[in-house]
C-alpha cells in the first residue's frame, strides 16, 4: 500500500516538472524577443516598494543643483545683462581693493602717531575739509581733536598738535576765509615763539637744582644709605637730561614750523584777498631773521648749522641749508620786485653760498635760478633812474656792474649745461631762457645791437621749444624794440 502511494507521488512529480520548465522558458523569451526577468518570489516587488529609500540632499548639493538649473541658457537669455553684471562685480572688487590699498598705504600712516580717539576726530575733520568742504563741521572736529589731545597728555607743541592747528588754517584758507586763517597762524606762531624763548632761557635750571641737591649738607647720613641716595640722584639726573634733550628737539621742531608759518603769512598777506605788501614783507623778514639768529646760536653751541639730529622722528629737527637758502631767496625776490637791488644782492649771495655748501659737486637747478637772479638784480640796479638809485658811495662803476651781470648770467647757463636728467627739470630750461634774455639786455646796454638781437632770437627759439609763452612774448617785444 505504501509502495503504491509512493509510486503515484513520484509519477505526479514527473508530470508537473515539464510544465514548470515550460512556463519559465516562456517567461524569459517573451513575444518581442527581449528577456523579461521575473522574480521567483511573488511578493518581492511589494516588499521593495514598502521599504522607504528617500535620500536627503545637503545644502551645498541643493545650491549646486539650483545653480545648474539657473545657469542653463542664462547667457543666451541675457546676452547684455550678464556681461554687465560680471563687469559690475569685478569693478566693485577692484574699487574695494583700491580703497583698502589707499587706506593702508596713505591714510593710516597719517594717523598712526595719534591716539585712536584723536584719530577718529581727525578723520571726520579731514572728510569735511577734503571731501565735503564744510568749515563749521570741520572746525568743530578739529577743536574736539585738540581737546582730546590735551586730555590724553600730548605735548602742546609737538609736531602732531601743531600740525592740527596748521591744518585748521589750511582748511579756512581753502574755504576762502583768509582773515581767520591768518589769525590762527598768528596766534599759533606767537604761542610757539614764547614757549621756545622761555624754554631756552630756563633749560639749564634743572641741572643747577640737581647740583644743589647733590651738595653735602650738615646732616649725617648712614654709609649704607649713601649709595642708595647717590643712585637715586643719578637716575633722576638721567631722566632730567633725557627730558631736556626731548624738549630741546621739540623747540627746534617748533621753531622750524614757526619759520614756515611766517612764510605762509607772507603769502596770505600778499594774496588778492588781503593785498598788504608791508605785512607780507615783514613776515618774510621775520622768517629770515629767525633763520639767521638760529644759525648764529648753533654756531656758538657747536651744533650743525643746517639740519640736526632728528631724534625719534624721520625728519630733521631744524631747517637744512637748502630750506634756509629758500627763505633768503624769497625775501630777495621781494626786494627785487620792489627795485631794491641793494637789499636783494646780499641775500642772493648768502643763499647761493649755502646751496653750494649743501649740494657740493652735484649742483641742482636751484643754483641756476639763483645765479640768474643775481644777474637780473644787477641789471635792474643799472636800469634804475639816477634819482631812484641808492645815495651810498658807489665803489663799482656802471660798466663793471654790467660786465659782472653778464658773467653771472653766463655762469647760470654753464651750470645748467652740466646738470643732466633726472636732476635737470623744466626749471633749469626756463631759467636758461631767462639767462639768455638777460644776456641780450646786457648786450643792449653795452650798445651791441647785433649781439643783443642774436641773444633775443636764441631766447625765443628756446622758449618755443619749451612752449614757454611768456619767454616768447618778451623776446618778441625785445626784437621789435631793437628793430625800431
Note the pLDDT of residue 53: 52
Q: Is the pLDDT of residue 38 over 70?
A: no
Pick from 97-111, 148-162, 390-404, 466-480: least confident: 97-111
Mean pLDDT of the residues in the chain: 81
**Distance of CA 436 to CAs 165, 265, 333, Å?**
45, 34, 19
Average pLDDT over residues 160-185: 95
User: For residue range 432-483, what is the model confidence (pLDDT) as tens digits?
Assistant: 999 999 999 999 999 999 999 999 999 999 999 999 999 999 999 999 998 8
List, in order of start, the domains of the chain with CATH numbers. Answer: 348-388+395-484 (1.25.40)
pLDDT digits (tens, 9 = 90+) for 211-262: 444 444 444 444 554 455 566 677 788 888 888 888 888 999 999 999 999 9
CA–centroid distance for 50 within its chain: 78
pLDDT surpasses 60 at 170: yes
Q: Which own/partner contact pairs does 473-476 have at CB distance under 8 Å and 24+ positions apart?
A: 474/437, 475/437, 475/440
Percent of the chain with pLDDT over 70: 75
DSSP element (H, E) containing 450: helix 449-466
| CB of 263 closer than 8 Å to CB of 166 | no
Residue 108 has pLDDT above 80, yes or no: no
Backbone angles phi, psi at 35, to 5 degrees: -70, 135
User: What pLDDT score was predicted for residue 18?
Assistant: 47
Rounded Cα distance, 376 and 158, in Å: 41
User: Residue 84: pLDDT band by 50, 70, 90 thresholds?
Assistant: confident
Over the range 70-103, which residues count as b (16 or more CB within 10 Å of their CB) and which as e? eeeeeeeeeeeeeeeeeeeeeeeeeeeeeeeeee
- Packing angle between helix 135-151 and helix 116-126, nearest 10 degrees? 170
The per-residue pLDDT for 380 is 87
Taking the model in full, what pTM does it have? Answer: 0.72
Amino acid at each position: 500500500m505504501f509502495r503504491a502511494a509512493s509510486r503515484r507521488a513520484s509519477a505526479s512529480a514527473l508530470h508537473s516538472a515539464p510544465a514548470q520548465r515550460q512556463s519559465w522558458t516562456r517567461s524569459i523569451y517573451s513575444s518581442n524577443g527581449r528577456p523579461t526577468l521575473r522574480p521567483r518570489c511573488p511578493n518581492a516587488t511589494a516588499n521593495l516598494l514598502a521599504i522607504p529609500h528617500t535620500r536627503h540632499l545637503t545644502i551645498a548639493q541643493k545650491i549646486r543643483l539650483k545653480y545648474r538649473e539657473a545657469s542653463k541658457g542664462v547667457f543666451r537669455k541675457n546676452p547684455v545683462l550678464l556681461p554687465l553684471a560680471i563687469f559690475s562685480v569685478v569693478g566693485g572688487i577692484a574699487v574695494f581693493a583700491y580703497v583698502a590699498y589707499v587706506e593702508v598705504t596713505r591714510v593710516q600712516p597719517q594717523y598712526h602717531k595719534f591716539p585712536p580717539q584723536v584719530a577718529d576726530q581727525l578723520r571726520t575733520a579731514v572728510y569735511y575739509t577734503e571731501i565735503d568742504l564744510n568749515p563749521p563741521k570741520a572746525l568743530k572736529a578739529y577743536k574736539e581733536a585738540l581737546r582730546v589731545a590735551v586730555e590724553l597728555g600730548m605735548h602742546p607743541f609737538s609736531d602732531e598738535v601743531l600740525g592740527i592747528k596748521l591744518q585748521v588754517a589750511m582748511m579756512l584758507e581753502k574755504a576762502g576765509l583768509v582773515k581767520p586763517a591768518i589769525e590762527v597762524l598768528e596766534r599759533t606762531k606767537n604761542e610757539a615763539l614764547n614757549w621756545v624763548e622761555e624754554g631756552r632761557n630756563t633749560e639749564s635750571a634743572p641741572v643747577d637744582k640737581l647740583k644743589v641737591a647733590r651738595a653735602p649738607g650738615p646732616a649725617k647720613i648712614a654709609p649704607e644709605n649713601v649709595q642708595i641716595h647717590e643712585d637715586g640722584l643719578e637716575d633722576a639726573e638721567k631722566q632730567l637730561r633725557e627730558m631736556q634733550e626731548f624738549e630741546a628737539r621739540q623747540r627746534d621742531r617748533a621753531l622750524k614750523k614757526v619759520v614756515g608759518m611766517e612764510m605762509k603769512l607772507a603769502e596770505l598777506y600778499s594774496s588778492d584777498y588781503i593785498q598788504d605788501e608791508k605785512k607780507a614783507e615783514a613776515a618774510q623778514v621775520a622768517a629770515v631773521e629767525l633763520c639767521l639768529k638760529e644759525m648764529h646760536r648753533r654756531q656758538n653751541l657747536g651744533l650743525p648749522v643746517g639740519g640736526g639730529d632728528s631724534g625719534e622722528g624721520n625728519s630733521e629737527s631744524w631747517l637744512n641749508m637748502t630750506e634756509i637758502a629758500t627763505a633768503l631767496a624769497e625775501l630777495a625776490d621781494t626786494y627785487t620786485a620792489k627795485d631794491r637791488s641793494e637789499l636783494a644782492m646780499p641775500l642772493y649771495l648768502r643763499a647761493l653760498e649755502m646751496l653750494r655748501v649743501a649740494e657740493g659737486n652735484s649742483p641742482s637747478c636751484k643754483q641756476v635760478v639763483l645765479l640768474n637772479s643775481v644777474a637780473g638784480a644787477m641789471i635792474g640796479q643799472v636800469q634804475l633812474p639816477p634819482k631812484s638809485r641808492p645815495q651810498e658811495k658807489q665803489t663799482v662803476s656802471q660798466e663793471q656792474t654790467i660786465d659782472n651781470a653778464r658773467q653771472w648770467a653766463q655762469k647760470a647757463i654753464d651750470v645748467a649745461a652740466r646738470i643732466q636728467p633726472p636732476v635737470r627739470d623744466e626749471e633749469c630750461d626756463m631759467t636758461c631762457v631767462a639767462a639768455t634774455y638777460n644776456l641780450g639786455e646786457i648786450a643792449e646796454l653795452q650798445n651791441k645791437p647785433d649781439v643783443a638781437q642774436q641773444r633775443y632770437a636764441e631766447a625765443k627759439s628756446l622758449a618755443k621749444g619749451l612752449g614757454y609763452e611768456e619767454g616768447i612774448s618778451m623776446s618778441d617785444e625785445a626784437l621789435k624794440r631793437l628793430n625800431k
